[in-house]
Structure 1
Amino acid sequence: MQQAILFQKKNSIFPDLDEDQLLEDLFKAYFDARKNKRNTINALKFELNLEENIFSLFEEIISGKYTLKPSICFVVNKPVKREIFAADFRDRVVHHLVYNYISPIFERKFINDAYSCRQGKGVHYGIKRTEHFIRSCSLNYHQNCYILKVDIKSYFMSINKKLLFDLTISEIKKEKDRKRGDLGFSFLLVKELLRVIIFSDPTKNCIIKGKRKDWNGLPKGKSLFSAENGCGLPIGNLTSQLFGNVYLNKLDHFIKNELKIKYYGRYVDDMLIVHQDKHYLKRVAFEIKNYLARESFLSLHPKKTYLQESSKGVIYLGLIIKPYRKYISKRIKNNFYDAVFNKKGNEKIKETVNSYLGIMSHCNSYNLKQKHQHSFRRAILELHGCVYP
C-alpha cells in the first residue's frame, strides 16, 4: 500500500496536500457513505474491489481528473412529490469526504435555530424550539402573539451556483486565515472538489428510473430539468443538504442580528417568526423578501406566507402546534396509512411504521397511536401470509 501511495505522489497537482492523510480520509468517507447503504447494488459493487476502487478514486482526485458519474433520477410521492437525483456510490464517498472537511467550519457559523440536517437538531428540536418561542412571547399563553411563516419559492432549484461557490470558498478562506493556514485538509483540493460538485449538471447523461408520466403533476419549479442556467442543486445529495444551510446562513444572521428578531427558526427554507406585533411581522416579511431578492436571487412563495394568532395554532414541521398540545398533521396521517396498507411485501414496513409511531410519541395522539398500532400488527401478519383474527 505504501508503494502505491508513493507512486501517486508524483501525480498530485495540489502542493498543500498531505496524500497519506487524504487516503485515510477517503477510507473514513467510504465507511460513512455505506451506512444504511451497504446492501444497495452500487455499494456492494464498490465494496467488492474496495481497495482498488479507493485507490482509483484517490488517483483521480490528486491528479485533478475527478468527475462525477451519471446520477439516477426518479420521482417520489411521499411525503411530498419531488424529484431525486441519486449519485453514484463513488461520488457519495467524495460527498462525505468534502462534508467531513467543511461541515465543522460551517457548524460554528450557523445560528442555533437552523434545524435541518444538523447533528443534535432536526425536526423534533425545531418543534421544541417553536413551542418555546410561542410560550415565551405569549407569556405562557397569557397574552396574544402572532406567528409569521414564510417559504422560499422553488428553493433548491433556484440556488445560484456561482454565488453558492463564492460564499462557501469565502467562509473556508476566513477559517484558513484564522487558523494561519492549518485547516487540517488541502484548501486547493477542497476548492476543486467543490467546483466539480457545485457546477455539475446532474441532468446530463442521467439514468431515468421509472416512467416519464411519473413527472406528471410535478411543478416545473421542483425539477432540475426546468431550472435556469447556472441554478439548481440535486435533492438527495449530502452536500446539497449542507449547501442549503450555507446559502441561507447570511439571511439567518441578517434576521437575528440586523432585524433583531428573537424568536426565529428555519428548517431548510421553511421559516417561522413569533412576535407580539402583527404589523411588525408584516414589515419583517417585506424586509426578508427584499433581502432574498437582493442578496440571494430568491423569492418568497406568494401562496405560502401565513400570519395568524398563536392561539389558533400553526402547522410546522408536520405537526399542528396549539396551546399546551400538539397533533400530527393530516399529511403525516395519510403517509402513515400509505406506509401500512400500500407497501405489502416490503420488509422495511416495520422500520417505516415505527418512525411514524416515533413522531406520534411527541404529540397528544394517544387514540390515534393506538389505532395505528392495531393497523401495524395487522400489516405485519399479512406481510408474512398470516390471517389477522
Structure 2
Amino acid sequence: MSIKNVYYEITSFENLLRADKNCASQHTDKWEIIEFRRNLEENLLNLRDRLRRLDIPPVRYRSFLVFDPKVRKVIYTDYTTKVIQRAIYDVLYEPIQRGFITDTYACVTDRGQYAYYYKFDVRKFFYRIDHEVLMNIIKKKISDKYTVELMRYYMCSTQRPFGMPLDGNHLTITDDEMLWDKGIAIGGGLSHMIGNMYLDQLDQYAKRTLGIKKYIRFADDIIITDTDKGKLKEYGKLLTQFLNEKLLLEFNDRCALRPNRCGCEFVGCVIYPDHVLLRKSTTLRMKKNLRRVAEKYKKYEVSFDYCKQVAASYAGMLEHVDGNRFKDKLWEDFVLTHNMEE
C-alpha cells in the first residue's frame, strides 16, 4: 500500500509542535533549543510556511568520531533540521513499519531445535546505501511527490557527501574521497527508518520468495537458522546475490556458518541453545562506564538521579541474560561516594 497525501500533515503546525517537543527532550544542544523556543510559535509558523513553499532550510552538518565499540562517524544537524526530520518520522514511521516482517529476537534461540546458524552483516551499510536504489524504494512506498522530494533533500545531500568506498578508513579518509551518490548520515533523525526501508527489500525476499522460516535482522546484522547445513549455504548464496545485484551492497567477509552449540554473537550477547550471556566486550564496556559514572559522582559532576538512571538501564538489560556471578560482581563494585575534601 502506497502512502498518499501526507505532506500537509507533515508540515502542519501541530505536527511540527509535537516534533519540537520530542526533539527538545532528547537532544543536548541546549543553547540551540533555547534560541529556537524563544519565539516558538513564530518559528514553527515560519517553518511551516517555508516547507509549504518547498523552501527547505539548508542543513548545518556537524560530525564526530565514535570509537566504541568500533570506529564510525556520527553526523548531527542543526536543531531546525532535527525538528523537520522528526516531523517526517512521526507521520511516516507507522504506515511504513506495518509492511516490515514481524520476526523478533526470540526467534533466534528456539531452545536448540535448530542445529546450525548462519550470521551475516552488511559491509559499511549506512555509508554504502545507493541513492538511486533508495529513491526508487521511497517512491514505491510514498506516492506524495512533495514528501518524496523532501526525503530526497535529506537523503541525497548536495551539501555534504556521506558515502565511503569499501576500502575507506574513517580515520584517514578525506572529504574529496567521500562519495556523493552513496551513503546517508548516521545519527540523523531518519537514518534508522531509512535503513530499515532499504533492507526490508532483503527481508521480503528472504521470507516471501525463499520462504526462510527462521530469519531475523537487527539493523544490518542478519541470522538464519535451520537443521540443514546445506540449505543454509544455498540461502546464503541467494541472499548474497540479491544484496549485490538489487541493493548494490555486500556482506562482510566474516559471515559465519556454525553449529548452535558454539554460541551465536548477536546484539551484544552470545546466544546458546539453553542460555544467553553478555559478550565479553559488552561486559568490559559496562564495567568501564559504571566506573566512570562513579568517578564523576565522586567529583560532584553528575547527580544521584543520573547514576540511578544509568544503573536502571543496565539492570533492565541484564534481566534478559544469564550469568549471575557477573551481575553480582558488577553491582558489588558500583559504589557511590562523594569526595568530602572538596
Per the shorter chain, which TM-score range? 0.7 to 0.9
Matched, 1:251 2:202: yes
Matched, 1:131 2:109: yes
2:145 corresponds in structure 1 to: 188
1:19 Cα offset (Å): 8.0
Distance 2:289 2:6 in 1: 50
Q: Secondary structure at the match of 1:75?
A: strand
Matched, 1:300 2:270: no
Distance 1:329 1:68 in 2: 42
Distance 1:320 1:70 in 2: 40
Matched, 1:334 2:312: no
2:101 corresponds in structure 1 to: 111
Of 218, 232, 237, the match for 2:183: 232
Distance 1:252 1:222 in 2: 34
Of 22, 41, 64, the match for 1:32: 22
2:54 partner amino acid: G
Question: Unaligned regions of 5+ residues in structure 1, if any?
Answer: 1-14, 114-124, 139-144, 174-186, 205-217
1:385 corresponds in structure 2 to: 339
2:135 corresponds in structure 1 to: 165
Distance 1:54 1:223 in 2: 38
Distance 1:19 1:291 in 2: 36
The answer to whether the 8 A contact 1:224-1:234 is kept is no
Q: Secondary structure at the match of 1:331?
A: helix
TM-score normalised to structure 1 length: 0.76
The answer to whether the 8 A contact 2:214-2:225 is kept is yes
Most deviating of 56-65 and 244-253: 56-65
The answer to whether the 8 A contact 1:148-1:273 is kept is yes
The answer to whether the 8 A contact 2:10-2:88 is kept is no
1:341 partner amino acid: R
Identical pairs, percent: 23
Point out which structure has higher relative CO (alpha carbons under 8 A, 6+ apart).
Answer: 1
Taking structure 1 as reference, are residues 97 and 20 closer, same or farther at Cα in structure 2, changes over 3 Å only? Answer: closer
The answer to whether the 8 A contact 1:155-1:298 is kept is yes
1:385 partner amino acid: N
Of 204, 208, 221, the match for 1:270: 221
Taking structure 1 as reference, are residues 349 and 202 closer, same or farther at Cα in structure 2, changes over 3 Å only? Answer: farther
Q: Secondary structure at the match of 1:85?
A: strand
1:41 Cα offset (Å): 2.7
Q: Note the 1:350-365 alignment, pairs <5 A.
A: 350-365=308-323
1:68 corresponds in structure 2 to: 58
Distance 1:253 1:362 in 2: 28
The answer to whether the 8 A contact 1:152-1:300 is kept is yes
**Deviations 1:228-251 (CA, angstroms, capped at 9, x unpaired):** 331001111121110000001111
TM-score normalised to structure 2 length: 0.86
Distance 2:243 2:171 in 1: 17
1:152 corresponds in structure 2 to: 122
1:354 partner amino acid: A
2:165 corresponds in structure 1 to: none
**Deviations 1:73-126 (CA, angstroms, capped at 9, x unpaired):** 00122233221101111111111111122212211110012xxxxxxxxxxx52
RMSD of equivalent CA atoms: 2.6
The answer to whether the 8 A contact 1:154-1:222 is kept is no
Of 351, 369, 373, the match for 2:327: 369
Q: Secondary structure at the match of 1:298?
A: coil
Distance 2:179 2:8 in 1: 38
Taking structure 1 as reference, are residues 220 and 39 closer, same or farther at Cα in structure 2, changes over 3 Å only? Answer: closer
Question: Unaligned regions of 5+ residues in structure 2, if any?
Answer: 162-167
The answer to whether the 8 A contact 2:6-2:91 is kept is no
Matched, 1:198 2:168: no
Matched, 1:49 2:19: no
**Deviations 1:329-352 (CA, angstroms, capped at 9, x unpaired):** 011111112212235325244433
Taking structure 1 as reference, are residues 76 and 21 closer, same or farther at Cα in structure 2, changes over 3 Å only? Answer: closer
